[in-house]
Amino acid sequence: MRNLILCGAPGSGKGTQSDLIVEKYGLLHLSTGDLLRAEIAKQSELGQKIDAIISKGNLLPDDMMITLLEQHIASLPEHTKGIIFDGFPRTENQAIELESLMKRSGDETAVLIDLHVDEKETIQRLINRGKTSGRSDDNEDTIRKRLVVYHKQTEPVADFYRKLNKYQRVDGMGTVDSIFQRIDEILKDLYC
């Protein structure tokens, strides 16, 4: 499988762009945030633990996140063309674990696409989303915390993939279609 990592601050449009990529290239969208919210919706003990972490804007511990991700990947259909990792890896340690998982399964992460959006714009997008999303982390205080966590813990992931020559920065400002065109320029070489 040739997999793709979609990276960017909260509110940078990863979910929206993933939908368009799925539509055009038939990749499978794997959002770790969605995975965790599905666990919360089960109202299990694990879900309650996860909810307490997410609603404060913190990241799940790496080992917990990696276990959940591996379990999910094992349940995916066998002949998948490729996965869009949305929201994973979020720490350098997760990146190391993902690359080792790829090696073990004979797959690869072809590229990391880093969606760049002005911080003011991401905050506004998330506040707007919070009016309808029902997400416990889409409120102003938690949004600011999530951005701090992003800069501190997730930005090093970009450097990790830069060193592997797999890093592509994409301007995430503008209309949904214009942003997709920029992503598509990268993907058509990989998947067509």
Enumerate binding residues for ligand AMP (CB under 6 A).
10, 32-33, 36, 53-54, 58-60, 65, 87-88, 90, 94, 137, 146
Least distance in angstroms from the C-beta of 137 to ligand AMP: 6
Q: Which residue is nearest to ligand AMP (CB)?
A: 33
Least distance in angstroms from the C-beta of 188 to ligand AMP: 26
Residue type, 108: E
CA dihedral (38, 41, 43, 45) positive or negative? positive
| Alpha carbon separation from 168 to 85, 96, 123, 164 (Å, rounded) | 15, 18, 23, 11
Least distance in angstroms from the C-beta of 153 to ligand AMP: 9
* Residue 165 phi, psi (nearest 5): 60, 35
Least distance in angstroms from the C-beta of 192 to ligand AMP: 28
Which residue's CB is nearer to ligand AMP, number 90 or number 125?
A: 90
Instruction: Give 80-102 as a DSSP string.
Output: -S-EEEES---SHHHHHHHHHHH
Which residue's CB is nearer to ligand AMP, number 129 or number 169?
A: 129
Which residue's CB is nearer to ligand AMP, number 118 or number 189?
A: 118
Which residue's CB is nearer to ligand AMP, number 17 or number 32?
A: 32
Burial zone of 121 (CB within 10 Å; 0-12 exposed, 13-18 middle, 19+ buried): middle
Least distance in angstroms from the C-beta of 65 to ligand AMP: 4
- Say which DSSP state 152 is in: I
Which residue's CB is nearer to ligand AMP, number 9 or number 189?
A: 9
- Token couple for 84: 């869009």
Determine the length of the chain. Answer: 192
